């Protein structure tokens, strides 16, 4: 069985040992769990393609500003079709399995460090902390989707084309990717807060 009936998951390699347990590549024809994984760390049991579809459906806010740049309805099948078009475009451009390209993009875009605020004696200080593996995957997916929405908002490029460009650029570790730039920025902030 293949994902969407097209893409095999057998030969996909996850090179980052920290993310191996959190990037799920179970083979299903239609990746939809209907929200059944509700226990702690249940996200790790959900297929990574379904998590990408869910992130497109609810892209999230930018910081504390409620910046709405998407006219997203939350329709799962509509977003699944968008991801299918994206994968077709990735396969056409790179001549590789798009699932392998997606996994490589997540590995490259996942930040290792971030900062948190610690209050000590009435003053607030930034403190560098390590990122947990599950949060690394979450941030990588969020930044990939945000970058694609930024590229396609009020422009002639379609969203699925922008998402394909973003995933390909992140898999090649290119600075044209919003997710890679965001990762570098977060790690620089963490280095300065040590």
Q: Residue 67 pLDDT > 60, yes or no? A: no
* pLDDT (0 to 100) of residue 111: 94
* pLDDT (0 to 100) of residue 68: 55
Q: Residue 69 pLDDT > 80, yes or no? A: no
Residue 83: closest CA among 177, 160, 145, 6? 160
Q: Residue 136 pLDDT > 90, yes or no? A: yes
3-state helix, strand, coil in the chain (%, to 5): 50, 10, 40
* pLDDT (0 to 100) of residue 164: 96
pLDDT confidence bin for 179, thresholds 50/70/90:
very high
pLDDT confidence bin for 64, thresholds 50/70/90:
low
The residue that leads in pLDDT, 186 or 194, is: 186
Rounded Cα distance, 168 and 106, in Å: 11
* pLDDT (0 to 100) of residue 108: 96
Is this model's pTM higher than 0.95 or not?
A: no
Rounded Cα distance, 109 and 26, in Å: 22
pLDDT tens figures, 19-60 = 999 999 887 777 887 777 778 888 888 899 999 998 998 877
Structure tokens at 96: 């590789």
pLDDT tens figures, 138-173 = 999 999 999 998 888 788 999 999 999 999 999 999
In the chain, the percentage of residues whose pLDDT exceeds 70 is 94
Q: Residue 126 pLDDT > 80, yes or no? A: yes
Residue 148: closest CA among 130, 132, 167, 163? 163
Average pLDDT of the chain?
89
Domains of the chain in sequence order: 42-192 (1.10.455.10)
């Amino acid at each position: 069985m293949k994902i969407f009936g097209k893409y095999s998951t057998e030969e996909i390699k996850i090179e980052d040992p920290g993310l191996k347990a959190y990037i799920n590549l179970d083979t299903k024809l239609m990746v939809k769990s209907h929200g059944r994984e509700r226990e702690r760390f249940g996200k790790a049991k959900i297929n990574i393609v379904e998590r990408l579809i869910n992130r497109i459906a609810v892209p999230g806010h930018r910081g504390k500003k409620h910046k709405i740049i998407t006219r997203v309805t939350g329709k799962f099948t509509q977003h699944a079709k968008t991801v299918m078009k994206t994968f077709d475009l990735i396969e056409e451009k790179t001549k590789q399995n798009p699932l392998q390209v997606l996994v490589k993009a997540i590995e490259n875009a996942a930040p290792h460090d971030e900062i948190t605020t610690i209050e000590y004696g009435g003053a607030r200080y930034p403190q560098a902390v390590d990122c947990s593996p599950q949060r690394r995957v979450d941030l990588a997916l969020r930044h990939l989707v945000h970058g694609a929405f930024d590229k396609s908002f009020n422009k002639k490029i379609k969203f699925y084309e922008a998402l394909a460009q973003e995933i390909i650029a992140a898999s090649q570790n290119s600075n044209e990717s919003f997710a890679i730039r965001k990762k570098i920025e977060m790690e620089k902030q963490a280095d300065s807060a040590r």
